[in-house]
Structure 1
Amino acid sequence: MNIDIWSDIACPWCYIGKRRFEKALAAFPHRDEVTVAWHSFQLDPSLPAHYDGTEAQYLSTRKGMPEEQVRQMFAHVREQAAGEGLDYDFDSLVVANSVRGHQLLHLAKEQGLAGEVKEALLSAHFEHGTDIGDTEALVRIGVRAGLDEQAVRDELASGSRIRAVEADIDEAAALGIRSVPTFVLDMTFAVSGAQPVEVFTAALDRAWQASHEDARK
């Protein structure tokens, strides 16, 4: 069974959803026959490479909400993240365009390391206040995950995989995906959002049964 996941690095619910999906997959009896592919998505592609304000200021401006209301939202998201063993730090979070992180993900995907790099990018952004638009930060993340340092530097300098990032986003649009995270199972069933583990479990069971019923016909 193939599972295609569209998500953004700068998306708190994407990290929470990743954890919940992973819990469901770990308990899935046929997990060794499941292939997971990560795809790029940008919630705000217009974001500049570097934003001087805080995450609260950015979202307050973008959503037209009072900053205090945004901080209340953060408290709720932080609580949900903590329930999955994640330690979000919105005060230290560096607001940056995620496209360069997605370039790194596509390089990692070619090396079979997309899962490791995805996890490292999300943790760096939400838990450790790392600038995901910074070259040296991305080089450190890539190298620690097993990528070649020069290959990472070459990609970040050339932007050769930006088109691959855009292709993922175009495919999401063609599939009707408007929000992330979105998990697509065998290009047949979709789960949108950071759903409870039970929802992912049910979706895995349903997709598996459907694909194997087709094979028996």
Structure 2
Amino acid sequence: MVETAAQRRRRRTRAEVTRRAVELFAAQGYAATSTEQVAAAADLSRSTLFRLFADKDDLLFGLEDDLLATAAVAVAEAPPGLAPWAALRAAAVRIAEQVGPLRDLLVTREQVVATVPALGARAAAKHRRWEEALATGLTAHRGVPAAEALLLAKLAVACFEVAQADWLTGAAEDLPALLTAALDRLPGLLEG
């Protein structure tokens, strides 16, 4: 899937607005920061801000949501002939490589999320959307039955959550390496 120039501009703009929003939320508090302040900090009108983001919460979670579109594609583009878990592993590591450059932003975002309980629910919902996207990729592109695909996707997302938590709290390894280690450990843990 080739990204158009307009899609690249939109993605870059969303990333910059998210950075500015997270900085404001961290400095002023989530509840105390208005969408008008975020729009002004990003040099956008409020209407443009809401064309880019569905709501205030989306300012925190939108970047990772942008990667959702790549999840099913990443499963489809894993080398043919791989077993479903191996294809899912390849896709998850590919996504982790895209998340890697966002570390500082994600650390700050997690600090903001920790101060607002409702944002924790939004974070949990984000993980469920990742599971669905990966499961859809397995079913649509690998022929894995839906129930099995969802189970595998849930296991992969759980590994991602554990690896990302370690990574955000200062683990020396990069996210793809931590994720690879978690994904590789899981089969042995299930059998042992």
- Between Structure 1 and Structure 2, the one with more strand by share is 1
Length-normalised TM-score, structure 1? 0.30
Length-normalised TM-score, structure 2? 0.32
Larger relative contact order (CA 8 Å, sep ≥ 6): 1
